[in-house]
Amino acid sequence: MQEFRLPDPGEGLTEAEIVAWKVAVGDEVAVNDVILEIETAKSLVELPSPFAGRVEALLAEPGDTVEVGSPIIRIADGADAAPEPVDPTAVETSEAVADVQATITHDEPGAVLVGYGVRGDAQTRRRKPRTVEQPPVRNEPARPASVPAASAVPTIAKPPIRKLARDLGVDLVSVVGTGLAGEVTRDDVVRAAEQPSVFKNLETPAAWSGDREERIPVKGVRKAIAQAMVDSAYSAPHVSVFVDVDATRTMEFVARLKQSTDFAGVKVSPLLIMARAVLWAARRNPNVNSTFTGDELVVHHYVNLGIAAATPRGLLVPNIKDAQDMSLLELAKALEHLTLTARDGRTQPADLARGTITITNIGVFGMDTGTPILNPGETGIIALGTIKQKPWVVDGEVRPRFVTTVGGSFDHRAIDGDIVSRFVADVASILEEPALLLD
């Protein structure tokens, strides 16, 4: 009999909340099988089992807050676990399940406490389905994503990938998996989706119940957000500026990128041009990309670009490390990966740390502008408002143009109004004329 104690998932935490068990008493588990989800102050983390055997007891309930080091599950090894009676009617089903389970074999020894198991370069193979009606065909040509596989093997996909497919309206049966063992990957789902967006995961709740009030405990991510916003608002004197921008050429540029073969299968939006504009403006106004410590101003000669994302777990600000070194295509892929991971609730602690400047895209909610609060430790945050057609004076004539508002908040302890104004003006100039990025 072995007990698995709650580990620290790499954040220096003292406790975490049990979100959901992926196993039940009596289930057989293998090393690295995901057994539960926990919520920390920063992220949702899956924990794999360090042991193989039969689940004897779950020592915590969903919703419980458990201290690191406390036992959370008991697993009996093969010698301790008593075999369950075999149901003869379930033999055929069991064989199909065995085929699926056998698609992945782990050759790397040792238990992994945090993550998704051993490395993906372990030896893998996909077994032929045991069917009489559909014998296996060798050298079968690749099927288009719209044609379901004629196979008895169920679709192989991890729970986060299944949730992502549900959110994006993708039928997994119609998706051909490209993973090492034939499993459906995140990229497979994204390619099958029409318009993946991190901001389309907010569902309308059901009608109010008979209770007049609901009390929601402030903990986990919400507690961390609340404390961070208070610390930022009352420690950094905010100054905010705004400017209206003719973004017609940005919209034309985005349309051309969508038609480019280089960007085929990659999500392209005005946020990509905004991100590139912020990187360009930060190089011209380096003090905006800094951290104020009280004793000194630490100016960063790199940009870990944060993107504020509204997710089912609350506001998260994951960042793209060293975004200044990326090409436009690399930046587009990084933005897509960041937003989809946040949408799926799988943003890791490392992706939330060490940001240097942030973009909040409030335009996706139809907002023109706002006064965002600084992400703690940063001196600047830029807000991109909605882009919509408005009457605009061009060469003395009123014409319909795509117009947006760029706003931002800055730490007035670190930077003065002239630097703030130049920085926002530089961002606006790129949205007005993206060709400046070629300089």
Catalytic residues: 412
**What are residue 124's phi and psi, to 5 degrees?**
-135, 155
| Strand spans (E) along 231-311 | 238-246, 290-292, 297-299, 305-311
Instruction: Please give the structure tokens belonging to residue 272.
Output: 């990509």
How far is Cα 345 from Cα 39, in angstroms, rounded to an integer?
10
CB-CB contact of 358 with 307 (8 Å): yes
Residue 257 token pair: 């990128």
Tell me the sheet residues that pair with 405.
244
Residues 6+ apart with CB under 8 A from 81: 28, 53, 54, 56
Distance CA 118, CA 122 (A): 8
Please write down the long-range contacts of 116-121, taking CB distance under 8 Å and 24 or more positions apart.
116/32, 116/34, 116/46, 116/48, 116/158, 117/32, 117/48, 118/32, 120/180
Per 3-state DSSP, the chain is made up of helix, strand and coil in percentages (nearest 5) of 30, 25, 45
Q: How many whole angstroms separate alpha carbon 314 and alpha carbon 291?
A: 25
CA distances for 12 relative to 58, 114, 116, 323, 347, angstroms: 24, 13, 20, 27, 17
- Tell me the two tokens of residue 22: 């992926």
Distances 176 to 112, 143, 150, 159 between C-alpha atoms, Å: 29, 7, 11, 17
Among candidates 166, 187, 95, 148, which has minimal Cα distance to 312? 166
186: amino acid identity, one letter: R
User: What is the Cα–Cα distance from 110 to 426, expressed in whole angstroms?
Assistant: 52
Q: Do strands 34-39 and 53-58 pair parallel, antiparallel, or not at all (unpaired)? A: unpaired
